[in-house]
């Protein structure tokens, strides 16, 4: 990412991350992302031992700042595979069929909020 985007990320992290010594490592983590890459909240949670609510707060603020955009990933909880991505919440189906295990799953219980990098200037 370019310095302008990284400065936005740094500002957000300074406001959202309680443990300030984690900020440089999180900055380095985001430095490897480029436009079009997917950011998974669980990865940030695991890598930096952050509370999931804190991770979503950071990502939501980065979305407000125009760095990220949120999407909904249909995810089979049985075989742990992605079954597609939906851009708008209202477009989520009631259920979906897993192409791998054949289970019909309720979408709301089997969807995770993920983010896509839309700005790396």
DSSP string, 77-111: TTT--EEEEESSGGG--SEEE-TTT--EEETGGGE
**DSSP secondary-structure letter at 19?**
S
pLDDT at 2 over 80: no
**What are the residue ranges spanned by the domains of the chain?**
1-121
Tell me the whole-structure pTM to 2 decimals: 0.87
| pLDDT tens for each residue of 39-81 | 999 999 999 999 999 999 999 999 999 999 999 999 998 899 9
The CATH code of domain 1-121 reads 1.10.10
């Amino acid at each position: 990412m370019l310095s302008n985007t990284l400065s936005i990320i740094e500002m957000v992290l300074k406001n959202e991350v309680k443990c300030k010594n984690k900020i440089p490592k999180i900055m380095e983590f985001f430095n490897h992302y480029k436009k079009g890459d997917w950011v998974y909240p669980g990865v940030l949670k695991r890598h930096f031992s952050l509370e999931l609510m804190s991770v979503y707060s950071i990502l939501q603020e980065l979305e407000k700042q125009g760095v990220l955009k949120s999407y909904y990933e249909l995810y089979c909880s049985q075989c742990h595979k992605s079954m597609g991505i939906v851009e708008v919440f209202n477009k989520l189906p009631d259920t979906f069929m897993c192409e791998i295990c054949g289970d019909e799953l309720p979408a709301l219980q089997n969807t995770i909020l993920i983010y896509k990098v839309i700005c790396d200037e």
